[in-house]
Amino acid sequence: MDIELNAENTIAKPLGPRTIPTPLEEHILGATPDHHYYSDENRVLVRHLLPEVKASLEKGEELACFEVAGPRKKLFFDPSRTTCGILTCGGICPGLNDVIRSLVITAHFRYGVRRILGFRYGFEGLNPSFGHKPVELTPEWVENIHRFGGTALGTSRGPQETSVMLDYLQEMDVQVLFVIGGDGSQRGALAICEEARKRAYPLAVVGIPKTIDNDMIFMDKSFGFETASAAAVEIVHAAHTEAVSARNGVGLVKVMGRHSGFIACAAAIASGEVNVVLIPEVPFALEGPNGFLEYLRQRVLRRGHAVVVVAEGAGQEYLPESNGYDASGNKKLGDIGIFLRDKIQNYFHECCTDLTLKYIDPSYVLRGIPAGTQDRIYCQRLAQAAVHAAMAGKTGIVVARWHSVYVHVPIAIAVAARRTVDSRRDIWFAVLEATGQPARFY
């Protein structure tokens, strides 16, 4: 994650000067009399470890910062005359409906926005050739949606033509667009933002980053990730139960995580029942005396059972090169779960070691559930921050929590790299401590 940061590229350029007094004045005056907190001057350091801060200071650099999110006293848009649009892109994730709901509640009740359009099925909803009519979003429409998983707006994968989408947004007289989606979708949002700037059409594009794998950078966590991890723990419990109920029982669980093994790590640490975690970030040898298979066999011989959790993106080097991509442009992965299941069975068989292996691939079970309490709060905080940002004319940003503070992160920075489990750092180390597995299979 070696992204060149500086005091410029960590702050996005807003639409223009702010002249409209906020209708939140009363709340702000009541609750936060002139508090510096809600000002563009309030920023948070991107790096807060002393060695890094010192290095910057010694070089005489300005410290790179993100803008702190929150309501502003003056707005760019007059809310009562502003039309907002919302869309959700890519795979579903717990919390999508919480974000939609809170965007609507905040825009409608707090700012008095009178027209909020929900575009259907992701970017398809901005391409009129699909014929998806937007829905008028009201507090009644969203009242209970947060109690359900998925997205009430529908979703789809992949981009549409930028100019087509912007034409449609202009036709629909939309000034504020909220894009709830992953890195690909945020790139699409940025393209719309930049095209609008070229056309001098004052459009605020604010993203709410969505990735169940928790693999986007500059955010403490992504919404939905914790809920999915909790669901993964339940699956691990089931696998552990199978394993301990059988003689030489092995439970093998595949969980989400294309490039980043955060869910696998969380499930392992939280359950306290996992003996080996395999993630994309840490290559592993299968064969040989220090390989995974022999380690697993020794563990089973010693303790009578074992549980293995593998992230879907792990060990792809063992699988035949796939030739396809999905509509989001993600390379189709080979099935590491099935591969390991067969490898383990063959290896134990060759070694004449009895084995009762149960393989569980919960697939979509982890993501089709309503958000848990903390994700619910997180979604609301992000959505509130997004509305405040958009009304103040911020654009080309995503909202996120960074080191416990809600901030604006320029999209260009947020999508510049992928967050992964750092095998030299504390999360992976916590996995090693929890599982007792060796640092590497080699």
Please, which of residues 357-416 interact with a second copy by CB under 8 A?
358-365, 367-369, 372-374, 376-377, 380-381, 384, 403-406
Report the 3 state secondary structure along 79-132.
HHHCEEEEEECCCCCCCHHHHHHHHHHHHHHHCCCCEEEECCCHHHHHCHHHCC
Among 33, 60, 289, 320, binds a second copy (CB under 8 A): 33
Residues 98, 183, 213, 215: which is the catalytic one?
213
Nearer to a second copy, 68 or 193 (CB): 68
Nearest distance from C-beta of residue 53 to a second copy, angstroms: 6
Nearest distance from C-beta of residue 187 to a second copy, angstroms: 22
Does residue 332 interact with a second copy by CB under 8 A? Answer: no
How many residues interact with a second copy (rule CB under 8 A)? 105
Distance CA(428)–CA(413), nearest Å, equals 25
Does residue 335 interact with a second copy by CB under 8 A? Answer: no
Nearest distance from C-beta of residue 17 to a second copy, angstroms: 22
Does residue 338 interact with a second copy by CB under 8 A? Answer: no
Q: Which stretch binds a second copy (CB under 8 A): 168-176, 314-322, 334-342, 418-426?
A: 418-426
Nearer to a second copy, 203 or 307 (CB): 307
Backbone angles phi, psi at 343, to 5 degrees: -60, -45
Q: Which two tokens stand for residue 161?
A: 């033509």
Does residue 19 interact with a second copy by CB under 8 A? Answer: no
Nearer to a second copy, 241 or 353 (CB): 241
Q: What's the CA angle centered on 214, arms 212 and 218, to 5 degrees?
A: 140
With tokens 């000034």, the residue in question is 175
Q: Which two tokens stand for residue 75?
A: 């707005």
Distance CA(372)–CA(80), nearest Å, equals 33
Q: Which stretch binds a second copy (CB under 8 A): 12-20, 78-86, 180-188, 236-244?
A: 236-244
Q: What is the crossing angle of helices 225-245 and 262-271, to 10°?
A: 50
Q: How far is residue 133 from each of residues 143, 150, 268, 348, 352, measured CA to CA in Å?
A: 21, 19, 44, 57, 62
Nearer to a second copy, 286 or 427 (CB): 427
Q: Is 213 part of the annotated catalytic residue set?
A: yes
Contacts (CB under 8 A) with a second copy, residues 208-227? 220, 226
| Straight-line distance from the first to the last Cα atom of the chain, in angstroms, rounded to the nearest whole number | 25
Nearer to a second copy, 245 or 298 (CB): 245
Nearer to a second copy, 4 or 426 (CB): 426
Among 1, 6, 8, 27, binds a second copy (CB under 8 A): 27
Of 170, 155, 84, nearest to 125 by C-alpha is 155
Distance CA(205)–CA(143), nearest Å, equals 25
DSSP tag of 62:
P
Nearest distance from C-beta of residue 301 to a second copy, angstroms: 15
Q: Which stretch binds a second copy (CB under 8 A): 72-80, 196-204, 314-322, 425-433?
A: 425-433
Distance CA(58)–CA(228), nearest Å, equals 43
Does residue 133 interact with a second copy by CB under 8 A? Answer: no
Nearer to a second copy, 190 or 362 (CB): 362
DSSP tag of 158:
S
Of 195, 117, 135, nearest to 159 by C-alpha is 195
Nearer to a second copy, 56 or 193 (CB): 56
Report the 3 state secondary structure along 121-133.
CHHHHHCHHHCCC
For residues 214 and 262, the answer to whether their CB atoms sit within 8 Å is yes
Q: Which stretch binds a second copy (CB under 8 A): 78-86, 160-168, 196-204, 266-274?
A: 266-274
Contacts (CB under 8 A) with a second copy, residues 61-120? 63, 65, 68, 70-71, 92, 98, 101-102, 105-106, 109-110
Does residue 41 interact with a second copy by CB under 8 A? Answer: yes
Catalytic residues: 213
